[in-house]
Structure 1
Amino acid sequence: MGGFDFNERLGLVEVKQVIWKALVAEVLGNFMLNYFGCMSCVAFASGTSHVVIALTFGLAIMAIVQSVGHVSGAHVNPAVTCAMLATGNITIIKGILYIVAQCVGAIAGSAFLKALTPDILQGNLGTTMLGKQVQPLQGFGIEFMLGFVLVIVVFGVCDANRPEGKGFAPLVIGLAIALGHLSSLNYTGSSMNPARSLGSAVISGIWNDHWVYWLGPILGGMCAGLLYKFVLSAAPVESRTEYSPVQLKRLDNKKEEDGLP
């Protein structure tokens, strides 16, 4: 009789294996995100538009997912990792190591950005902060929704029973990031990612309402992951019925072959 294997869920066996490549990929991914993404925020002080910032973060994520997704899954975000933990897609120890790697990469990326930016142009180095008149609880709600939309998109394109979407995963995830920035930059700075906010905060020394950028995306992401797993996930091909939306095209073609209207 099968039961819950604590050691398997904890990931003790997995730790004994070589997972350093995945951790390096997560460090590199967050390094690139904080370096390129926050660089566009620094440039904002010189007249860069919100659209440029949104596209920069979206394109950075697209490049990261395309380049290291096959190594670590390109979580590059504690909110995504926590959602994967909540749904049992990764082990506990691996999830913790991923989050540590993400934070290290983000801090290193922001530090590198500071080193290459003249003092007079640094500003707050892209640190996420609440907009004028935005209360912390409102900021939490906004970051909750940003984490929610990102993770539900990630789960959708990574669904094993929807192979048709995998080829577009980097683009779709990047566009989801751009969506979040286009909608919410003036509200919270559109973090969507606790590690990204941590990296900027550590290097700039600005910690205003920092809890918002951890609890919001993580709780939103976990809710999205659980919702997708138990309600929205695609059914295996062998269990789909004739009413399944993904079957309509095949059924229509079959009607044509049978000479039916």
Structure 2
Amino acid sequence: MGIGRRALAEAIGTYFLVLIGPGAAMVNAYSDGAVTHPGVALAFAFVVLAMIYALGHISGAHINPAVTLAFWSVRRFPGRDVAPYVAAQCAGAVAASFTMGAVVGPVGGFGATVPAVSVGGAFAVEWLLSFVLMLVIVAVATDERVAPGFAGIAVGLTVGFCAMAGGPLTGASMNPARSLGPAVAGGIWDAHWIYWVAPITAMLVAVRTYEFLRPAGSEADPSRSVPLGVEGPISPVGR
């Protein structure tokens, strides 16, 4: 499948991630707390699960620049496709934030991720949450011993419990595009660098950690040219 269609799928997936996730936080503010914090966390979990099952077989459902970069860093995603994926993810996120702003107005800070703890504490929280998310993603995507068909559930639940625990502290972004959309729409850039540096570095470490934990000989050569998504190889592949 051509890169244009796969990038469009990434834009659509990230659009709905931000529309439903940060969007739920905006609706919560608009409705005086009707959604609740657990409701917002579940919104993130459910939309990630849905996008993986809807688009995973098309683009891999990375819907996160840090995931794309992590797969590329261990030769599991072609370098030529990184820029189109990241651009599409960021564009989808920004479009979603402006959509929500047009519907409910600039409430809830557009669901922006802003530290409620110290900068160092926020970096640590985002780093650890991003690490465990990528650890789960690389396990379900690359290890043949993991039962097939459960990627959406595993990744969705991980996003959900991370949002439940880390949301009040940092927004539990784990995703540069998810943070970029509300920042652009609302002009809220407080400690924004954390939401790029922490997820990217954590996921680069997480993907290598799982490669180290994996028993020798448990998979094919990781240098194979088939790009990976959350559910495993993206196939068929073409330009």
Taking structure 1 as the reference length, the TM-score comes to 0.79
Residues of 2 paired with 1:79 and 1:18: CA distance?
Answer: 22
Residues of 2 paired with 1:230 and 1:165: CA distance?
Answer: 20
- 1:49 is matched with 36
- 1:66 is matched with 53
**For structure 2, which runs of at least 5 residues remain unmatched after alignment?**
221-239
Once the two structures are superposed, the pairs formed by residues 1-261 of structure 1 within 5 Å of their partners are: 18-45=2-29, 46-47=32-33, 48-117=35-104, 119=105, 122-131=107-116, 134-162=117-145, 164-232=146-214, 235-236=217-218
| Percent of paired sites with the same residue | 36
Q: Secondary structure at the match of 1:124?
A: helix
What whole-Å deviation, never above 9, does each CA across 1:103-150 have from its counterpart, x for those lacking one?
A: 001001111111111x3x62311001111xx11121111111111011
The alpha-carbon deviation at position 102 of structure 1 amounts to: 0.5
The alpha-carbon deviation at position 234 of structure 1 amounts to: 7.5
Residues of 1 paired with 2:61 and 2:153: CA distance?
Answer: 13
What whole-Å deviation, never above 9, does each CA across 1:221-253 have from its counterpart, x for those lacking one?
A: 110001112323674389xxxxxxxxxxxxxxx
Matched letter for residue 53 of structure 1: V
Contact in 1 for aligned 2:9/2:59 (Cα 8 Å): yes
- 1:10 is matched with none
Residues of 1 paired with 2:63 and 2:99: CA distance?
Answer: 18
Residues of 2 paired with 1:208 and 1:71: CA distance?
Answer: 35
Contact in 1 for aligned 2:143/2:219 (Cα 8 Å): no
Contact in 2 for aligned 1:31/1:108 (Cα 8 Å): yes
Of structures 1 and 2, the larger Rg is shown by 1
Moved beyond 4 Å, runs of 4+: none
Deviates more, 1:36-45 or 1:18-27: 36-45
Q: Secondary structure at the match of 1:183?
A: helix
Q: 1:187 to 1:95 in 2, by over 3 A?
A: same
Matched letter for residue 155 of structure 1: V
Contact in 2 for aligned 1:107/1:198 (Cα 8 Å): yes
C-alpha RMSD of matched pairs (Å): 1.7
Matched letter for residue 9 of structure 2: A
Contact in 2 for aligned 1:143/1:188 (Cα 8 Å): yes
Q: 1:233 to 1:51 in 2, by over 3 A?
A: farther
Contact in 2 for aligned 1:161/1:234 (Cα 8 Å): no
Taking structure 2 as the reference length, the TM-score comes to 0.86
Contact in 2 for aligned 1:139/1:187 (Cα 8 Å): yes
Matched letter for residue 127 of structure 1: A
